[in-house]
Structure 1
Amino acid sequence: MPQWYRAALLLLLLILRPAGAEHTHDVTGSPAGDVTISRQYCVVGAGPAGLQMGLFLKEAGRDYVLLERNDAPGSFFERYPRHRTLISINKRHTGKVNREFNERHDWNSLLTDDPALQFGRFSADFFPQADAMVQYLREFQRRSNITVHFGVNVTRIERRQRLRPFILHTSSALQYRCSYVIVATGMWQVNKPPIGGQELIQHYDDVPVNTERFRGKNVLILGRGNAAFETASNISGHTNLIHMVARNRARLAWSTHYVGDLRAINNNLLDTYQLKSLDGLLETDLQEIRLVRHKGRIHVRPADGGGAAPRPPQTRTVHRTFVTSLNATANEEGSCGSRWGFCSLRPEEEVPESEQGERAAAEERGERDTPEEEQQGRSAPEPQEVQDNFSMRDGYDEVIGCLGFKFDFSIFDSSTDPGAPGAYPKFPSVKSDWGSPTTPGLYFAGVASHALDFRRSAGGFVHGFRYTARALHRILEWRNHRSAWPATSWPLSELLNVMVRRLNTAAGPYQMFSVLCDIIVFQSGREGFLLVPEFPVAMLHRFTETTGHRADQLLVMSLEYGEEFSGPDQDTFRWDRAISDPLHAEKSNFLHPVVYFYQHPPSESAMLLRPSGRSLPAASRVHHILEDFLTDWTAPTSHLLPLRRFLEACLHRDLRHYSRSSCLRHALTNRQRPLFCS
């Protein structure tokens, strides 16, 4: 690197250095010409999660920097969704003035005290356009003055010695030395599984948005998520037909209560399928099929005939009817079979174009099948009976892959690779504190941390991960700076009021149900209680070491759905879907408060042995508050009275409020003054 260039780069970095940084010598050079910048916190990515973490770090006065490979925040939304309409609702009117209550229904705003940075000021659409999100994130970064180094492409994160600073290598001469790294890159890598005939697929990242491309064509879409249905809705007015193939049946968000499942705004294809308008859905494992071009169209054939290692029938997950039809169609033009009943020797015109070229070249070199291979082909088993009603027999003009996104693991070297959970390999492995299980000091925020609550809560979306990012920041504040988790102290006389207020307005536990909970802490020697908000319930056994607050007895306030709130065979709209009797509140199906009382924080072993499907272990007492159609748990008889009696049973205290005359009468009768009589 020329000396003048290095000097100019150093000068530029010193100018960009944030005000108030803790280090006075944070930009250094090396004999090789590399420039190293030192920061305590490095956040990789300047999308919604990165900006949210950046704001928390800035407000806490920490030494931090955000590293963004593009030239502006929120670059993901410049390209996705491809057809530009978000599925995050923008509910600007609730009839309420409570700010936190309104947060429950604002799915796009990041957490900030600046009222000018509410997303509703940037779009009036109930389902806003992605361009509005781009504008919002840029204004959020500018107005909040969050330090971001743009144009910095982090290519490798390494740690040369355990508990030493991380080294972040970039595509330029820059390096960053960081005590802690928070990866907030999202999931932007398009998932392209190994399907035979991959060259015939247009994937979601480059599918044309010009609908004229699909006029009068038969289209096959691989996938069953919102991207697939969004694409289908965009082109359905121009196509002959659309068939959609995926491994699983369609999961409807209004049935599963998981916002990442199919949303109503995208499900037009379900109408055209069930109302007999040529479109349709099919189920099969995509790894068991291949695509071939035959007579001008793209056809679906069994994967086993395309060179993939055959799998025994008992290991296949293909829908039985589909595979029978698929096999028969593959064999229709005859003369071949295979060990598992699939066609392994294809007619020449069915061979993919790339393989046809290889065969022709082999023939020119004089390479031919051996007598043994020819005999094997002649002695192949007879094909199954042909089914001429195979659903996909006509073939397709276009095939579009909409198979989701996955995390980019390439930025980690062997010293920092977090690995992937077996159940959800598209995510990095994450502990309950959003940290890496293999590398201390490495954390994840935003969509990348969604493995903790995938399909259980909203941690993969802005309205969910803005709260998990805040919880992560609070964990780091106590762990690294001995700044205790924010908590408020109240007299015992306010217990019922405080709990009811939080249950009816708190946004974090409402959106991150069963993941973040409010904790009421009782400490021996203190008459009142502490309210600790939005605590990650999976860390309850480490409450004191995570928050800095001692706990003897605990009340955990959670919001949960009932055990029968959804399922593949459940009727979400059945006539008896709601419970109205307070005596049977534990049978509530819709989102409702559940209060757990513990005589002491549960142990780690109790957390590990908690019942399957439950977020908390067995408690001393549990109380379900009756579900409410308005999500307003303030009814005196149905909600408040049972809750008060539950609290009195837990604390062995009378929590009723008395008039002056009642106080005197009670004191004279019982020889002691009630709790709330002054």
Structure 2
Amino acid sequence: MPKSYEYLIIGSGPAGVQMAYFLQQSKSNYVVLEKSDKVASFFRVFPRRRELISYNKVHSIFNDPEIILRWDWNSLLTNDYGFPFRDFSQRLYPHADELVNYLESFTDAYNLNICYNTKIIQVKRKKDGGFEVCDDQGVIYLCRVLIVATGFSKPYIPDIPGIELTEDYEDVSLENQTFAGKQVLILGKGNSAFEIADIAIETAAQVHIASPNSLTLAWQSRHPGHVRANHTRLLDTYQLKLLNGTLDCHVKKITKATDGTFVVTVSYVHADGEVEDLVYDRIIRCTGFSFNTEIYTPECKPDCILNGRLPAITPYWESTNVSDLFFAGTLMQGRDFKKSSSAFIDGFRYNIRSLYRYLKERYENIPLEAKKLAASPSEMRKAILTRSCRTSGLWTQFGYLCDVFIVNNNHQVSWYEELPVQALREGQFSSEEHYYSLTFEWGKWDGDVMAIERHPQADTAYTNVFLHPILRRYRYGELMSEHHILEDLFGVYCAEGEQGSVLKRSGRTIQQYHREEHEIPLEIYLEKQLNSAIEKQLDAALVAVDNNSFK
């Protein structure tokens, strides 16, 4: 007999475990199917050097566990902040084994329903809706909602003639002596490429890293998935002339010479189309991973983007062409690829919480929870600034998740937390006359990010480059106005959020500073917006009265 569930999750990495936690807490009918005999099978192998690039900042000037999550990139969300990753590692760059240990302990602590040694070989659509999922032992699972949390389950192999001659990131030796005296080419310019390059430069005669795109460093782009500083010694050896380099080029083909070396034909991007044949002793493919669609039958095979690397998704992480098929974890990044943090635990844990709430509303008719506020400038200002001082979700998922404040006709505000910004842009709440979104966003800066000209006054907050809150007002889906809240290095926007690290700014007490630069400007903005809405309502009412008088 098939086993039937409301929700079926494939994969027990961080994403599958996080979603299982929420479903477990609400006593939902769910199961997690895991191909391995333990959770976190990916992190038992990768990254190869075992050092993660997800920060684990153990100590902070803050004590609030919600705020601390801003700099804790590995903890899963719980209702009581009761399972922090810092209890498992004290390292800023933790080891992958510590994350595995954390996920194992989390799974046991919350008694999650995971079936191990269950390799899925086929997913197909049921005629009456939902899915039929079959494992390699012939066991059939039925579900109404399928959540795929498998992550990137196969290597991404670029279409280059001779690519089969390369060594794979997944298997290459990490012993630096294996590179001794060799000329080495590494394909790719991501973190895995620099991970291997950092080993090779110790002994190699020459190390080149190649891809068509120029190198982007995370501290330049502010995207955590771009190249991080902990493995970038190669860049010093390039610019300080140690024969190593990063090549912006198209690799046209790879051939093997009779002496066992490899000839690589490259076409340079920034050199007037120059073409060279370069000789290497070793070529290593570090081109990342991609989404695997092999298990899906044709009628429910999800569409993909980026040359098949990611599934195409709606704002609520549903397949664009297969209804009731959702994605969790790093597969959620299709709409903020290399922009926000959906590729990482610190980002997708909030996406998953939002997805969980959405699933409960859509499939179980459980309304999305809304807090209530008085529609007054002072009450809204207090709520918005307090939220801005505390939120970790909006801080981490900058420009991607938002809070929404709907001003109702009864002079009350309905406040929804952590909704996808793109859902608003694509019509959610467009039937509402008066509502706001609250996001955190970076400003634009084309110059040196280490020499940004700041303008620390409320009336020039729109020029801010550092991450800061932005409140936008909408009317029937149309953007009406926006208010930038002045940036703050510590993410504090009212006196109540201060921890004693700053006593004065520009000769003002910190209380006076916040009052003048954060509280009063926001309250003035809200008063103007609320009054304009009231005036429109009064005008509409007068028009209605006039029309009735002629009947």
Distance 1:448 1:217 in 2: 37
CA RMSD in angstroms, aligned pairs only: 1.9
Distance 1:299 1:231 in 2: 21
1:509 aligns with: 394
1:520 aligns with: 405
Larger relative strand fraction: 2
Aligned pairs for 1:635-646 within 5 A:
635-646=514-525
2:156 aligns with: 191
2:539 aligns with: none
1:324 aligns with: 274
User: Are 1:623 and 2:474 an aligned pair?
Assistant: no
Question: Alignment partner of 1:409: what SS?
Answer: coil
Whether the 8 Å contact between 2:51 and 2:93 is mirrored in structure 1 is yes
Whether the 8 Å contact between 2:9 and 2:148 is mirrored in structure 1 is yes
2:460 aligns with: 584
Whether the 8 Å contact between 1:46 and 1:74 is mirrored in structure 2 is yes
1:169 aligns with: 134
Residue of 352, 363, 366 corresponding to 1:480: 363
Residue of 21, 24, 45 corresponding to 1:58: 24
Once the 2 structures are TM-superposed, how far is the Cα of residue 240 of structure 1 from its aligned partner? Answer: 1.7
- Greater mean deviation of Cα atoms: 117-126 or 491-500: 491-500
Can you list the C-alpha shifts for 1:306-348, whole angstroms capped at 9, x where unaligned? xxxxxxxxxxx7426385341xx5xxxxxxxxxxxxxxxxxxx
Distance 1:582 1:89 in 2: 32
2:253 aligns with: 289
Can you list the C-alpha shifts for 1:344-390, whole angstroms capped at 9, x where unaligned? xxxxxxxxxxxxxxxxxxxxxxxxxxxxxxxxxxxxxxxxxxxxxxx
Once the 2 structures are TM-superposed, how far is the Cα of residue 650 of structure 1 from its aligned partner? Answer: 0.8
Q: 1:198 to 1:599 in 2, by over 3 A?
A: closer
Consecutive unaligned residues of structure 2, counting only runs of 5 or more, are 495-513, 533-551
Whether the 8 Å contact between 1:565 and 1:590 is mirrored in structure 2 is no
Distance 1:94 1:551 in 2: 41
1:466 aligns with: 349
Whether the 8 Å contact between 2:162 and 2:253 is mirrored in structure 1 is no
Question: Alignment partner of 1:595: what SS?
Answer: strand
Once the 2 structures are TM-superposed, how far is the Cα of residue 429 of structure 1 from its aligned partner? Answer: 0.9
Question: Alignment partner of 1:411: what SS?
Answer: coil
User: Are 1:418 and 2:302 an aligned pair?
Assistant: yes
Once the 2 structures are TM-superposed, how far is the Cα of residue 500 of structure 1 from its aligned partner? Answer: 0.5
Distance 1:199 1:48 in 2: 32
Distance 1:122 1:462 in 2: 16
Whether the 8 Å contact between 2:177 and 2:203 is mirrored in structure 1 is yes
- Amino acid across the alignment from 1:574: A
1:647 aligns with: 526
Question: Alignment partner of 2:177: what SS?
Answer: helix
User: Are 1:498 and 2:380 an aligned pair?
Assistant: no
Whether the 8 Å contact between 2:131 and 2:144 is mirrored in structure 1 is yes
Whether the 8 Å contact between 1:579 and 1:626 is mirrored in structure 2 is no
Once the 2 structures are TM-superposed, how far is the Cα of residue 72 of structure 1 from its aligned partner? Answer: 0.7
Once the 2 structures are TM-superposed, how far is the Cα of residue 642 of structure 1 from its aligned partner? Answer: 0.9
Aligned pairs for 1:567-578 within 5 A:
570-576=447-453, 578=454
Whether the 8 Å contact between 2:432 and 2:475 is mirrored in structure 1 is no
Question: Alignment partner of 1:585: what SS?
Answer: helix
Residue of 418, 430, 443 corresponding to 2:313: 430
Residue of 590, 596, 613 corresponding to 2:472: 596
Whether the 8 Å contact between 1:521 and 1:530 is mirrored in structure 2 is yes
1:12 aligns with: none
Q: 1:404 to 1:463 in 2, by over 3 A?
A: same
Distance 1:41 1:630 in 2: 40
Once the 2 structures are TM-superposed, how far is the Cα of residue 555 of structure 1 from its aligned partner? Answer: 1.7
2:293 aligns with: 409
Distance 1:486 1:106 in 2: 26
- Amino acid across the alignment from 2:30: Y
1:267 aligns with: 232
Question: Alignment partner of 1:137: what SS?
Answer: helix
Consecutive unaligned residues of structure 1, counting only runs of 5 or more, are 1-27, 29-35, 303-316, 330-391, 603-617, 654-678
Distance 1:434 1:194 in 2: 29
Distance 1:518 1:321 in 2: 47
User: Are 1:555 and 2:436 an aligned pair?
Assistant: yes
Q: 1:151 to 1:294 in 2, by over 3 A?
A: same
Can you list the C-alpha shifts for 1:93-117, whole angstroms capped at 9, x where unaligned? 1111111111111100010135552
Aligned pairs for 1:188-267 within 5 A:
188-267=153-232
Alignment: residue pair count:
510
Q: 1:320 to 1:267 in 2, by over 3 A?
A: closer
Aligned pairs for 1:300-311 within 5 A:
300-301=264-265
Whether the 8 Å contact between 1:579 and 1:627 is mirrored in structure 2 is no
Whether the 8 Å contact between 1:217 and 1:240 is mirrored in structure 2 is yes
User: Are 1:449 and 2:325 an aligned pair?
Assistant: no
Whether the 8 Å contact between 1:593 and 1:624 is mirrored in structure 2 is yes
Q: 1:424 to 1:191 in 2, by over 3 A?
A: closer
Once the 2 structures are TM-superposed, how far is the Cα of residue 200 of structure 1 from its aligned partner? Answer: 2.5
- Amino acid across the alignment from 2:438: M
Whether the 8 Å contact between 2:268 and 2:275 is mirrored in structure 1 is no
Distance 1:552 1:132 in 2: 49
User: Are 1:299 and 2:263 an aligned pair?
Assistant: yes
User: Are 1:632 and 2:492 an aligned pair?
Assistant: yes
Q: 1:235 to 1:116 in 2, by over 3 A?
A: farther
1:397 aligns with: 281
Can you list the C-alpha shifts for 1:573-602, whole angstroms capped at 9, x where unaligned? 2342x22232221111121111111234x1
Whether the 8 Å contact between 2:248 and 2:270 is mirrored in structure 1 is no
Q: 1:575 to 1:452 in 2, by over 3 A?
A: closer
Whether the 8 Å contact between 2:254 and 2:262 is mirrored in structure 1 is no
Can you list the C-alpha shifts for 1:535-580, whole angstroms capped at 9, x where unaligned? 11222255469xxxx9542121111111x235xxx4222342x222
User: Are 1:48 and 2:14 an aligned pair?
Assistant: yes
- Amino acid across the alignment from 2:271: T
Whether the 8 Å contact between 1:595 and 1:624 is mirrored in structure 2 is yes
2:92 aligns with: 126
Whether the 8 Å contact between 2:175 and 2:199 is mirrored in structure 1 is no
- Amino acid across the alignment from 2:330: V
Distance 2:125 2:179 in 1: 50
- Amino acid across the alignment from 1:505: R
Can you list the C-alpha shifts for 1:138-157, whole angstroms capped at 9, x where unaligned? 11111111100001111111
**Once the two structures are aligned, what percentage of the paired residues are identical?**
32
Distance 2:258 2:385 in 1: 66
Distance 1:417 1:495 in 2: 45
- Amino acid across the alignment from 1:584: T
2:33 aligns with: 67
Can you list the C-alpha shifts for 1:513-539, whole angstroms capped at 9, x where unaligned? 1111011122112x3322211011222
Q: Which has the larger radius of gyration?
A: 1
Distance 1:183 1:115 in 2: 26
- Greater mean deviation of Cα atoms: 125-134 or 93-102: 93-102
Distance 2:262 2:272 in 1: 17
Question: Alignment partner of 1:589: what SS?
Answer: coil
Once the 2 structures are TM-superposed, how far is the Cα of residue 80 of structure 1 from its aligned partner? Answer: 0.3
Once the 2 structures are TM-superposed, how far is the Cα of residue 636 of structure 1 from its aligned partner? Answer: 1.6
Distance 2:46 2:191 in 1: 12
Distance 1:132 1:437 in 2: 36
Q: 1:131 to 1:436 in 2, by over 3 A?
A: same
- Amino acid across the alignment from 1:54: A
